[in-house]
Chains A and B, each alone.
Chain A
Amino acid sequence: MESCAQTKKYAAKDYKSDLKPIWCPGCGDYTVLNAITRALAELALPPEEVAVVSGIGCSSRIPAYTSVYGFHGVHGRALPVATGLKLARPDLTVLVTGGDGDGFSIGGNHFLHACRRNVDLTYIVMDNQVYGMTKGQASPTTSPDWEGSKLTPEGTGINPFQPLVVGLASGANFVARVSSSDPVNMAQIIVEAIRHPGFSLVQVLSPCVTFRPEQAEWRDIVRTAVVDVTDDAARAARRLMTDDGFNVGKVLYKGNRPPFRPEFEQTDGSVAELEARFAL
């Protein structure tokens, strides 16, 4: 008899809400939503035990499109919200979703410290190298010579931010890059990211077909990385610093750092004991 192993089976659609996304047709974020729900189904996580946290931006709309618990906060602050939630409720599986502007510009400091702190979170960044919601401005990952924005008509002239290298240097415990053009692979990587303890960083190349139409070519440019996962952060960083940003589909780094837990003992101390210290 196998009846004792009655795991409830979930399908990807069980994790989708009935809201229709506001995204443009062809946006890469559709497949990211699919991959996330697919990953949750594969992990068979009861929807009420999962929370998706986001800030502001096109991709930050994801929580409302899922049927798990969601929190849609302010621009750039998804990681601290998720940190507080996970630390207060370690029983929950907490995902963070957002874009390159939200995560690496206005939220850049939180990104550094979330990597350092290594709370058991999975951070999925949909990187399209543009601010889409405000109609097409350069983001931290935009190349310096992109002249498509009225805000920076001559290009930004500044070097793009390297999220995975910075993530590694800051202490992220899991680093991967995937492409929105391969949702099956993406779902698999997200499963691994959720399973891996500590802070997992997944960069998704997710084209903005409206403000960066040239990104439609990404699906042809990306290639599956030919490297195997390493636990050597320096090695992973070297690979990342020499590639062109289009090696995808693999976990690049898995560290062994134990996740952050503030040192608090579950003692049976009472408030009365605290008060006694003030008594004369």
Chain B
Amino acid sequence: MTVQSVSLVIAGSGGAGVVTAGSLLLEAAAKAGWYALMSRSSGPQIRGGEAAAMLRFATEPVMSHDDSFHLLMAIDWENIGRFSAEIPLVETSLIVGDPAHGDAPAALLGGRPRQAGLAMTAIAEKIENGRPNMVALGAIAAMIGLPAEAMQAVVEQHLKRKGQAAIDASMAAFHAGIAAAADLPAIPKLPAVAAASAPRWSITGNEATGLGVIRGGVRFVAAYPITPATEVLEWLAPSLAKVGGQLVQAEDELASINQIIGASYGGVPAMTATSGPGLSLMIESLGLAVAAEVPLVVVDVMRVGPSTGIATKSEQSDLNIAVYGLHGDAPHVVVAANSVADCLFTTQWAVHLAEAMQTPTLVLTDQAMGQARAIVPRPAELSFIGQRLTATAAVEGERYKRYAVTASGVSPMAIPGTPGLTHTADGLEHNELGTPSSQASDHQAQMDKRSRKLTQFNYGDHWAEIEDAEAGAGDTAIITWGSSTGPAREALRRFSDAGGKARLISVRLIAPVQPEKMAAVLKGITRAVVVEQSHSGQFYRMLRAFYDLPQDTRSLHQAGPLAFGPGRILEQLNAWSS
């Protein structure tokens, strides 16, 4: 069944409190038993600029925004035109603005949305300490069917410290908004849900990323701030302290990657999080971790590149640097989260992969999922079997070989402090002992083992998420990765609801590639559409290079920050089936 959902945007200038309003709405929706997804967009100003909170509410989990919004609630029109491309509005959409601020700017009217006025400022002024954003929230709640009690509970929780008068003022404004909504045109209402049936979480992708690495066992994090990854690190700082770990702010990304190399060499699982520019700086030392066989995790919360690009907005364009950026032949692991909740799974898995294979593992998430907050079903408890293989005691008469050539390619690692197993870990090519060597045979043997670690590892079913339409896979596939998975998944559902057959393949293990597994899930598929958010079709090209794809494989790619709506993907599926 197609997701039953309602989508809306709250927009306004700094001080209008749109992000706060969005957060309150999200929490209230959670109390009402709904699922939700909230992303934010903001202007280039550090503080006080225009902002938009984009929300989608549904009676079941949602992982993507819809093709358009039902409602744009504008507290004011300040610079709102900057968001027009990110707020698709159609004829059934409704713009509600405050007549006190004049008319809606033309940039918003291209899709011929309906328009109505709500005198938020005037209504708020009649209430002592009333605020326009609370009036807006009241109107929104009434329009989408959100029970007032849910908001009451959230407001009480938030304003507890400010006292009853503040709570009363907010709720008076809220109720005034509800009353005023009676005069507004209708938008779809969501049905009430019987009190939360299954346990749910409210979490952002960046928080889920932090939790995932802690769950995986990381206890040392080096941090250098960068948008949009900073929240991962800010969440980790106090959280690590609570579980006996530590976070250190480094002087730059060169330092953060090398600090975690040092900590991990010392036996403590370690990670850092960054975005494209920081990843670029870390690349040389990632190669060091490959050569010296130091396990670590680096999370890249991707933003629009190249260079400083658009720091606050999303793009899936770091795939190439993550896979191919290292000099030399440098086998390493690249995994990608496919949703807000999957950031938790993927980062926890990444720690396991890094530790088990003694190799650096890159995790690709992006601004869209990292800074989005979602109400999701409680993620499953997870544990992965197999941690770092260590050497714990010297063998009589044998010299310890840190880089022993083994069948699996993984060599038992002696942690400093272990008597009798001292050695030097080296980024220079070396022999089994770790002694620097420029001999071809040592290079060949060490390259073979470093590569074998990754090719012989059992990644299980986690390499991709596969989903079929109800009627089956048929002969059509959508192949995607990362945050393009959300809209692709929804396109598949809509296609399925209309009786279509197709298969969704969302690749989580980007490198090493898994051609045999892909061949198995592409059996019987004669056409495929590859969906990604990059200007050059990086993922499509990578698939072309390493996989046998169906003859009729199309690339659906576009540069960030605009995401594919489900409709664009559905169009391709429909075009094939008609």
Contacts and interface: CB of A to CB of B under 8 A. Distances in A.
A279 B378 CA distance: 7
Contacts of A112: 251
User: On chain A, which size bracket covers the interface?
Assistant: 35 or more
B262 interface: yes
Interface string A125-169: 000000000000000000000000000000000000000000000
A275 B215 CA distance: 10
Interface string A250-271: 0000000000001111110111
Contacts of A67: 422
Contacts of A76: 254
Interface stretch (A31-39, A82-90, A239-247): A82-90
B252 A109 contact: yes
Query: Which residue, A73, A83, A86, A274, has most C-beta atoms of chain B within 10 A?
Result: A73
Nearest to B375: A280
A13 B262 CA distance: 26
B89 interface: no
Nearest to A63: B424
B189 interface: no
Interface in B394-448: 416-428, 434-436
Nearest to B294: A71
Interface string A4-31: 0000000000000001000000000000
A49 B248 CA distance: 23
User: On chain B, which size bracket covers the interface?
Assistant: 35 or more
Contact of B259 (A63, A66, A81, A266): A81
A120 B200 CA distance: 45
Contacts of B288: 73-74, 77
Contacts of B107: none
B263 A84 contact: yes
Given A64-B436, A72-B428, A89 B268 contact: yes
A233 to B, nearest CB: 21
A280 B26 CA distance: 12
Interface in B180-238: 196, 199-203, 207, 211, 214-215, 219-220, 222
Contact of B254 (A70, A77, A83, A271): A77
A238 to B, nearest CB: 27
Contact of A264 (B244, B265, B284): B244
B250 interface: yes
A208 interface: no
B255 interface: yes
B242 interface: yes
Contact of B265 (A48, A66, A71, A74): A71
Query: Which residue, A63, A79, A262, has most C-beta atoms of chain B within 10 A?
Result: A262
B260 interface: yes
Contacts of A91: 417
Contacts of B240: 264
B161 to A, nearest CB: 18
B147 interface: no
A266 B240 CA distance: 10
Query: Which residue, A19, A63, A85, has most C-beta atoms of chain B within 10 A?
Result: A85
A59 to B, nearest CB: 15
B241 interface: yes
B58 to A, nearest CB: 15
Nearest to B260: A84
B243 interface: yes
B262 A48 contact: no
B332 to A, nearest CB: 15
A69 B263 contact: no
A88 B258 CA distance: 13
A91 B418 CA distance: 12
Contacts of A271: 211, 214-215, 243
Contacts of B263: 84-85, 87-89
A109 to B, nearest CB: 6
A110 B222 CA distance: 14
B477 to A, nearest CB: 34
A88 B268 contact: yes
Contacts of A274: 211, 214, 239, 242-243
B393 to A, nearest CB: 12
A274 B268 CA distance: 20
B247 interface: yes
B30 interface: yes
A89 B202 CA distance: 35
B276 interface: no
Contacts of B203: 278
B482 to A, nearest CB: 22
A51 B270 CA distance: 18
B36 to A, nearest CB: 11
A82 B203 CA distance: 35
A172 to B, nearest CB: 15
A142 to B, nearest CB: 24
A109 B248 contact: no
Contacts of B30: 280
Interface in B120-169: none
A72 B426 CA distance: 5
B285 interface: yes
Nearest to A53: B262
Given A74-B427, A265-B241, A84 B251 contact: no
A70 B243 contact: no
B384 to A, nearest CB: 14
A84 B200 contact: no
B214 A80 contact: no
A81 B262 contact: yes
Nearest to A62: B424
Contact of B427 (A51, A72, A86): A72
B201 A73 contact: no
Contacts of B420: 48
Nearest to A78: B258
Contacts of B419: 46, 48
A116 B294 CA distance: 27
A207 B435 CA distance: 26
Nearest to A270: B243
Nearest to B207: A278
A65 to B, nearest CB: 9
Contacts of A63: 424
A148 B216 CA distance: 54
Contacts of B250: 80, 113
Interface string B518-548: 0000000000000000000000000000000
Given A81-B259, A85-B266, A269-B244, 8 more contacts: A69-B417, A70-B423, A73-B427, A74-B427, A80-B257, A81-B258, A274-B239, A279-B378
30 contacts: A19-B435, A48-B420, A49-B416, A63-B424, A64-B424, A67-B422, A68-B422, A71-B292, A73-B258, A74-B287, A76-B254, A81-B262, A81-B265, A83-B255, A83-B262, A85-B262, A85-B265, A85-B416, A87-B246, A88-B220, A88-B267, A88-B270, A89-B266, A92-B416, A109-B251, A267-B243, A271-B214, A271-B243, A279-B201, A280-B196
Interface of B: 30-31, 196, 199-203, 207, 211, 214-215, 219-220, 222, 239-248, 250-252, 254-268, 270, 284-285, 287-288, 292, 375, 378, 416-428, 434-436
